[in-house]
Chains A and B, each alone.
Chain A
Amino acid sequence: MLMQLAAIWNYLIVILLMMVGLFLVISRANLVKKLVGLSIFQTSVFLFYITLGRVSGGTAPILTDAPDTLYSNPLPHVLILTAIVVGVATTALGLALILRIRESFGSIEEDEILAAKNESAAADMAQAKPGAEA
Chain B
Amino acid sequence: MNDGGLIAVFLQNLPVLVVVIPLLLAPVVAIITAPRLAWAISLAGVGGAFLAAILLQSITESIGRVTYHLGNWEPPWGIEFVVDSATSLTLVIMTGLAFLATLYARASLMSEIKHTDLGKCYAAWLLASGGLFGLVATGDAFNLFVFLEISALSSVILISIGAGADRRALSAGFNYLVIGAVGATFYVIGVGFVYAITGTLNIADLAARIADIGGGAALYAGFGFMIAGIMVKAAVFPVHIWLPAAYGYAPSAVSSLLAAIATKAALYVLARLLFTLFAGVPDITELAVTYVIVPLSLAGIFVGTVMAIYEKDIKLLLAHSSVAQIGYIALGFGLASSASVAASFVHIGNHALIKGGLFMAVGGFVAALGSRANLASFVGIGRRMPITATAFTVCGLSLAGLPLTAGFISKLYLVRAILAEDAYVITALVLLSSALSLIYLWKIIEVMWMQPAPAKAPNLAENPAIYVPLWIVALANIWFGVDASWLVAASRAAAAALLGGGL
Contact = CB atoms under 8 A, between A and B. Distances in A.
Most buried by B among A18, A76, A97: A97
B457 A131 contact: yes
A82 B146 contact: yes
Contacts of B146: 82, 86
Interface string A83-96: 10010011001100
Contacts of A89: 149, 153
Interface in B13-63: none
Nearest to B455: A131
A70 B377 CA distance: 71
Given A41-B185, A52-B192, A130 B153 contact: no
B205 to A, nearest CB: 14
Interface residues of A, number: 42
A83 B191 CA distance: 12
Interface string B438-475: 00000000000000011111100000000000000000
B167 A104 contact: yes
Interface in A66-125: 75-76, 79, 82-83, 86, 89-90, 93-94, 97-98, 100-101, 104-105, 113, 117, 120-121, 124-125
B337 interface: no
Interface stretch (B99-107, B156-164, B271-279, B404-412): B156-164
Contacts of A76: 195
Contacts of A42: 181, 185
A52 to B, nearest CB: 5
Interface stretch (B88-96, B169-177, B395-403, B495-503): B169-177
A134 B182 contact: no
Interface stretch (A1-9, A30-38, A56-64): A30-38
A124 B181 contact: no
B173 A97 contact: yes
B428 interface: no
A127 B369 CA distance: 11
A92 to B, nearest CB: 9
B168 interface: yes
Interface residues of B, number: 43
Given A48-B189, A86-B149, A117-B171, A38 B178 contact: yes
Contact of A130 (B149, B181, B457, B458): B457
A45 interface: yes
A131 B188 contact: no
Contact of B456 (A75, A93, A131): A131
A129 B371 CA distance: 11
A26 B163 CA distance: 24
A38 B184 CA distance: 11
A125 B156 CA distance: 27
A93 B153 contact: yes
B374 interface: yes
A42 B372 CA distance: 37
Chain A interface secondary structure, helix, strand, loop or mixed? Answer: helix
A130 B454 contact: yes
Contact of A45 (B160, B185, B201, B374): B185
B181 A38 contact: yes
Contacts of A34: 178
Contact of A128 (B153, B182, B371): B371
A45 B186 CA distance: 9
A101 B372 CA distance: 20
B189 A101 contact: no
Interface in B261-310: none
A16 B226 CA distance: 20
B312 A125 contact: yes
B370 interface: yes
B156 A97 contact: yes
Contacts of B171: 101, 105, 113, 117
Contacts of A101: 170-171, 174
Interface in B193-231: 195-196, 201
Given A93-B157, A117-B168, A45 B178 contact: no
Nearest to A97: B174
Contacts of A18: 189
Report which residue of A38, A86, A121, A134 has the largest number of chain B beta carbons within 10 angstroms of its beta carbon.
Answer: A86
Given A124-B374, A131-B457, 15 more contacts: A22-B182, A25-B178, A35-B178, A42-B181, A42-B185, A79-B142, A93-B156, A94-B174, A100-B170, A101-B170, A104-B170, A124-B372, A127-B371, A128-B371, A131-B456
16 contacts: A38-B178, A41-B185, A42-B185, A52-B192, A76-B195, A83-B188, A86-B145, A93-B157, A105-B171, A113-B171, A120-B168, A125-B376, A128-B369, A131-B456, A133-B371, A134-B458
